[in-house]
Amino acid sequence: MTQKNRMTPKAHFAEKLRLAGLRPTRQRVAIAALLLDGRHRHVTADSLTEEITTAGLHVSGGTVYNTLNQFTEAGLLRRVMVHNDYSLFDTNTDHHHHFYEAENDQLVDIPHDDVILAQLPAAPDGHEIKAVDVVIHIQSKNS
Amino acid sequence: MTQKNRMTPKAHFAEKLRLAGLRPTRQRVAIAALLLDGRHRHVTADSLTEEITTAGLHVSGGTVYNTLNQFTEAGLLRRVMVHNDYSLFDTNTDHHHHFYEAENDQLVDIPHDDVILAQLPAAPDGHEIKAVDVVIHIQSKNS
DNA sequence: ATCTAGTTTAAAATCATTCTAAAGAGCCTT
DNA sequence: AAGGCTCTTTAGAATGATTTTAAACTAGAT
Ligand SMILES: [Mn+2]
Ligand SMILES: [Mn+2]
Ligand SMILES: [Zn+2]
Ligand SMILES: [Zn+2]
């Protein structure tokens, strides 16, 4: 078992943040405890703020945005692009793709192996591929 | 050759709009003439407004947005999702994918055949696949 | 020419996100 | 344990793309 089982949860997430190059402030540790617990899900600044409130905490709006951006920059979260209305963050940073149902703005993970890219184009000269995002747009069958 | 060569360009685009179920107003025809001439490119509300101005015309901001949305809804344009900053519209509605270089917000088409999805997952129960979007994020090699 | 539903317009409103500048908190050094 | 430096947080203002509004206009039918 990993070392995390010897620490209090707070210390565990503080350590995780330090490793990511982020100073473990009270707010960041609280958000890390909510988002980086291993569960795979998709959150928005709004839904995260709700979670924080439900947990009996308070973090200013600016800090929620800053933290989501910093976690993403640090590779602790992943931003998913499916529309222009607001940002979606994925707690699953492993390589995987998504189903997106615009009808009710629902995003669902596709297991890694269920999409196979048999052939990829070469990146344009002087460039390299950083990530490949596949979004499969779906709709309910009865139109 | 198609029938379009027998009409004045204006009539040609008016007809195209009628077929798409859109009343061919002066503004829509002007925008159609700029965007639906067969060239494949990516535009924003802003870049389109510039083009309109350069052409010596004027269309209100609201109408530029409405028209882009209506054209997209009608299948004359395609919206491409690569970031949350503003909408990108593609004059190429054929099935194709994109390279995206975040560094300088540059979007480049990938020829249809250069990405092959060998295996697609089944859509969730009661749903069908409407579109598959692949975005390959790239960056210049010297980081 | 007249009518009517659909469209355009300038301006205001919306709203997610970023910025500001002042107060607070990690953390390193004494 | 205290001091100090830098990074963070905060509430609130600002930003900016997009939508909405309500009045003026027009395509197309009669
Ligand atoms: Mn918006
Ligand atoms: Mn914005
Ligand atoms: Zn996911
Ligand atoms: Zn394209």
pLDDT single digits (tens) B87-107: 999 999 999 999 999 999 999
Question: From the CA of A95, how many Å to the nearest CA of chain B?
Answer: 13
The reply to whether residue A138 touches residue B128, judged by beta carbons under 8 angstroms, is yes
Give dist(CA B99, CA B102) in Å, integer. Answer: 10
What per-residue string of b and e applies to A25-42 under the rule 16 or more CB within 10 Å gives b?
eebbbbbbbbbbeeeeeb
pLDDT for residue B23: 98
Measure B27 CA to ligand 1 centroid, in angstroms. 24
The reply to whether residue A134 touches residue B134, judged by beta carbons under 8 angstroms, is yes
Q: Which residues of chain A have pLDDT under 70?
A: 1-7, 143
Quick check: B52 and B45 in contact, CB under 8 A?
no
B86 φ/ψ angles, rounded to the nearest 5 degrees: -165, 165
Whether the CB of B106 is below 8 Å from some CB of chain A: the reply is no
Beta bridge partners of B90: B42, B78
Q: Could you say which ligand is closest to the alpha carbon of residue A86?
A: 1
pLDDT confidence bin for B11, thresholds 50/70/90: confident
Give dist(CA B114, CA B57) in Å, integer. Answer: 39
Quick check: A92 and A78 in contact, CB under 8 A?
yes
Per-residue pLDDT of A39-57, as tens digits, reads 999 999 999 999 999 999 9
Domain boundaries in chain A? 4-80, 94-138
A137 interaction partners in chain B (CB closer than 8 Å): 129-133
Interface of A with B in 78-97 (CB under 8 A): 81-84, 86-87
- Name the pTM for this structure: 0.91
Higher pLDDT, A70 or B9: A70
Give dist(CA B44, CA B89) in Å, integer. Answer: 6
Q: Among all chains, which residue has been given the structure tokens 């540059």? A: B106
Closest of A107, A129, A15, A17 to residue A70, by C-alpha: A17
Question: CB of B87 under 7 A from strand D?
Answer: yes
The reply to whether residue B127 touches residue A133, judged by beta carbons under 8 angstroms, is no
B4-80: which CATH architecture?
Orthogonal Bundle (1.10)
Quick check: A41 and A91 in contact, CB under 8 A?
yes
pLDDT for residue A143: 65
A141 interaction partners in chain B (CB closer than 8 Å): 126-128
